[in-house]
Amino acid sequence: MNRTPPRFPATLDPRERELLAALLLGVLAACLGPALPDPMAGTGFADGRGWGGLPHAMDVLSNLPFAVLGVWGLLRLRRLDGAAAGTAAVRHCAGLFFGGLVLTAFGSAFYHLHPDALRLTADRLGMAVAFAGMVGLAVSERIGRRVAWPVACGMLVAGLLALAACHLRGNVLPWAVLQFGGMALVLGLALLRPVPGALGLKLGVVICCYGVAKLLGLGDDAIYQATGQLVSGHSLKHLAAACAGWPALQMLRALRPPAPAAQSTRSRLAGLRSPTGTFE
């Protein structure tokens, strides 16, 4: 018997065409826009206090929630091997997102130990991975699962290229387009009606966490002074950004496979029935 492999549909529906147009627009903006210097290059942070020999302790340790949520999500995904068919793309995107959170924890901690340009790239690498996974999850909820994983992979490649342009050429524009344009894309997706079978990812919460994190980062020194030098805005930024992982973690509940006890009970009942439908 000849078996032909499944083919990706040759035609795109209206939402998929609009998504493709938005992504192409972002690529054009990143490639054709003017080069911008990196505002983070050589930037100091308000809280430089050490603790127990650990430099910049608060900015380093505040990355712990990224690692906790990332590992938690990856462990949950490992238990979803029996999840419903057709959810592979969602699980792949979720794995990319939670793996990115773990990378972000290590990369950001590595950067804040001794901030410099090379370590900043390591910090942003984890962010690029997590961001690609989140965009893929958002697409699966509002556009459809058949394009979610390709979009996530495309965003990951775009993130790596943007980081290369930023590190090698000092041009932060591609990274800015990826970051802010990508969140604008997620915001636009949040305004659409979920597709049938959507798992209920709360995109509004994700966007709010991102927005609050950005504001806290901008108010780094002001918050540090306002709190009597107790905590800086950048440390709080890490905590707010990590909270964006909670909606994705909650979404995984909808992917739980049937309980083994329920399956075994149904099997025993089926075995007790005769072909005529009566108990023997």
Is residue 166 situated within a structural domain? yes
Which residue segment(s) compose the domain that 229 sits in? 55-252
Is residue 22 situated within a structural domain? no
Those residues of the chain that have pLDDT short of 50 are: 1-8, 261-265, 267, 269-270, 272-280
Q: Is 53 left (phi over 0), alpha (psi -120 to 50) or beta?
A: left
- Residue 1: partners with Cβ closer than 8 Å, 6 or more residues away: none
Domain count, the chain: 1
Provide the b/e sequence for 210-234 (b: ≥16 CB within 10 Å).
bebbbebbebbeebbeeeeeebbbb
118: domain CATH number is 1.20.1070.10
**In whole angstroms, what is the distance from residue 178 CA to residue 162 CA?**
8
Query: What pLDDT does 27 receive?
Result: 93
Query: What pLDDT does 18 receive?
Result: 92
Quick check: 252 and 80 in contact, CB under 8 A? yes
Instruction: Tell me the backbone φ, ψ of residue 279, rounded to 5 degrees.
Output: -75, 135
Is residue 46 situated within a structural domain? no
Is residue 185 situated within a structural domain? yes
Query: What pLDDT does 5 receive?
Result: 45
Total-model pTM: 0.85
**In whole angstroms, what is the distance from residue 4 CA to residue 194 CA?**
32
Query: What pLDDT does 187 receive?
Result: 94
Is residue 204 situated within a structural domain? yes
**In whole angstroms, what is the distance from residue 41 CA to residue 58 CA?**
20
Is residue 263 situated within a structural domain? no
